[in-house]
Amino acid sequence: MFNIILFGPPGSGKGTQSERLISKYGFKHLSTGDLLRSEIAKQTPLGIEAKNFMDKGHLVPDEVVIGMISSALDNHPDAKGFLFDGFPRTEAQSQALDKLLKLKNTQIGVVLALDVTEEELVKRLLNRGLTSGRSDDTNEEIIRNRIVEYHKKTSAVADYYKQFDKVVYVKGEGSVDEIFDALCSEIDQRLS
Ligand code: ADP
C-alpha cells in the first residue's frame, strides 16, 4: 500500500491534480473539503457545525475532521493506497493520521507539496468562485483568511513530515499537464 499527501495552500491545484492521480494510480481519494461539503449538503449535525467555520475561512476543529478521516479509512479496507487532499492541515491532524495508518500497518509514502505564489492563489480562487458555487471562493477577505490559516497552522504539516524526510516540493505553476508529469515522476521513483 502506498499513501500520498497532496499538500499545498488553498488554490494550489490539489483538487485538479488529485483527480488525475487517482485515475492513473487507482488511489482512493480522501478530500476533507469534499467530505465536509457533502455533510453540509446533507445537513447533518457535523455539516451544520463545520459550515460556521468554513464560511469564515477558518479551519474546522481537529476532532471533527480526524473522526471523519478515521471512518473513511475504515470504510475502504481494500484500498491499494490513499491520496489525502486537504488533510492533514494541522500538526495534530498529522500525528493522528500517522497513528491511524500505523494501526493499519501502513504509512505515508510521500508528501507532495505544490508551490504557488500568493498572488496567483488569490487570482485562481476568485476565478474558481465564478463557477464553483463555493461561497468561500467569492469573497477576497475569506480567501485571505484561508491563506492566513494556511501559514499559521497548515505549513506546520510540511515541517512535521520533513523530520521523516518525506516532503518533496513540486512547482505548482505551469500547465496542468506539466505539473501532473512532475508529480507522477516523484511517485514513480518511489513505487519502483
Ligand atoms: P481549499 O484547499 O481550496 O481551501 P478545501 O475544499 O480543501 O479547499 O477546504 C475548504 C474548507 O474546508 C477549508 O477552508 C476549511 O474550513 C475546511 N477544511 C477542509 N479540510 C480541513 C481540515 N483537514 N481541517 C480543518 N478544516 C478543513
The reply to whether ligand 1 has any atom less than 6 angstroms from the CB of 7 is no
- Of 20, 128, 144, 153, the active-site residue reads 128
CA 93 to ligand 1: nearest atom: 23
- Is residue 146 flagged as an active site residue? yes
pLDDT in tens, 84-112: 999 999 999 999 999 999 999 999 999 99
Which amino acid appears at position 104 of this protein? K
Q: Is 128 a catalytic residue?
A: yes
Q: Is the pLDDT of residue 4 over 90?
A: yes
CA pair distance 84, 9, nearest whole angstrom: 14
- Which residue matches cell numbers 449538503? 41
Amino acid type, 62? D
Q: Is the CB of 121 under 6 A from ligand 1?
A: no
pLDDT tens by residue, 41-67: 999 999 999 999 999 999 999 999 999
If we measure between CA atoms, which residue out of 170, 182, 185, 57 comes closest to residue 116?
Answer: 170
Q: Provide the pLDDT confidence category of residue 192 given band limits of 50, 70 and 90.
A: confident
CATH number at residue 155: 3.40.50.300
Chain segment 162-182, per-residue pLDDT in tens: 999 999 999 999 999 999 999
Q: Any alpha helices (H) in the chain, and if so which ranges?
A: 14-25, 32-41, 45-54, 62-74, 91-103, 118-129, 140-149, 155-162, 176-191
Q: Which grid cell sits at 171?
A: 512547482
Distance CA(88)–CA(72), nearest Å, equals: 14
Percentage with pLDDT > 70 across the chain: 100
pLDDT at 114: 98
Give the Å distance between the CA of 40 and the centre of ligand 1. 13
pTM confidence score: 0.95
Please give the residue range of the domain that contains residue 94: 3-191
Number of domains present in the structure of the chain = 1
Which of 4, 31, 188, 7 lies closest to 115 in space, CA to CA?
7
For this structure, is 14 an active site residue?
yes
